[in-house]
Amino acid sequence: MAIPKPKLRELKEAITALIKGPYTTKFPAAPAIVPEHFRGTPTYVPDDCVGCGACGQVCPAGAITIIDEFRENEGKMVRRIERNWGCCIFCSQCFEYCITGKGIILDKDFDKSTLDTADFIDTHDKELVCCEACGEPITAREHIHWMAEKLGELSFANQSLTVARFEELGLTKKIAPRTERDLERSDFLRILCPNCRASYILSDEWGES
Ligand code: SF4
Ligand code: SF4
């Protein structure tokens, strides 16, 4: 049987490959050079994260979990932000929707191979602010301060943000905890969740909640 002669195009490609070398990289024997806008591992930057939880809401792969829990030993509510890079699909939604724009950055690393899956888990805590009436968590303390800062003078239209702003500026002393009684006007300038504030305003204006 006669061996078919190579076509001209195949011959050209073979000669080009001989001169220029293969298109494939030497990875993992040598690091791969990635393009400038390569979408690599989302890397968490704790100092630039305010703990809002938006990244956990937009992650389509469920790689980011937000857990609000009471820590007995610390005596406070804490938001635990847990990232499992083993589930990450490198879509970059967490980076795109991070409210500070800096809490998660994409680096050029893509090789996450490991022999221990625990290496994939990355956890950080943020202190939570809770409603002073019902105790329900509102958001992370850093988040409320970030909102107050972002809104500037507009933050004074919201009493909870006003308290947070005064707190940050050092204009308030620690407010005494609210005692077990119905909300009254003196409680208006406290950090309250939307439900408790609305219920207080209704009862103050119309005598019912
Ligand atoms: S890159 Fe995509 S899949 Fe990975 S953690 Fe961010 S949002 Fe989730
Ligand atoms: S600030 Fe950014 S990184 Fe931090 S919880 Fe919010 S979206 Fe996620």
pLDDT for the residue 56 = 96
150 domain residue, yes or no: yes
198 domain residue, yes or no: yes
Q: What is the CATH number of the domain that holds 54?
A: 3.30.70.3270
Beta bridge partners of 127: 78
114 domain residue, yes or no: yes
Going by C-alpha positions, the residue among 115, 121, 66, 59 that lies closest to residue 91 is 59
Q: Are residues 71 and 54 in the same domain?
A: yes
Ligand 2 contacts (CB < 6 A) are: 49-55, 81, 98-100, 103-104
Q: Are residues 110 and 161 in the same domain?
A: no
| Domain membership of residue 45 as a residue range | 37-130
CA 48 to ligand 2 centroid distance, Å: 8
85 domain residue, yes or no: yes
Total structural domains in the chain? 2
Pocket test for ligand 1, best of 88, 105, 124 (most atoms within 8 A of CB): 88
Q: Which residues in the chain come in under a pLDDT of 50? A: none
180 domain residue, yes or no: no
Q: What is the pLDDT of residues 152-209, one digit of tens each?
A: 889 888 888 888 778 777 777 666 666 666 777 777 778 888 888 888 888 777 776 5
16 domain residue, yes or no: no
29 domain residue, yes or no: no
19 domain residue, yes or no: no
Ligand 1 contacts (CB < 6 A) are: 42, 59, 61, 63-64, 88-94
Per the rule left: phi > 0, alpha: psi between -120 and 50, beta: everything else, 128 is: beta
**Ligand 1 atom nearest to 83, measured from its CA:** 5
pLDDT for the residue 133 = 82
Q: Are residues 125 and 135 in the same domain?
A: no
pLDDT for the residue 135 = 85
pLDDT for the residue 174 = 66
If residue 198 lies in a helix (H) or strand (E), which one and from where to where?
Answer: helix 194-206
Torsional sign, CA 187, 188, 193, 197: positive
Q: What is the pTM of this model?
A: 0.79
Query: Are the C-beta atoms of residues 204 and 186 closer than 8 Å to each other?
Result: no
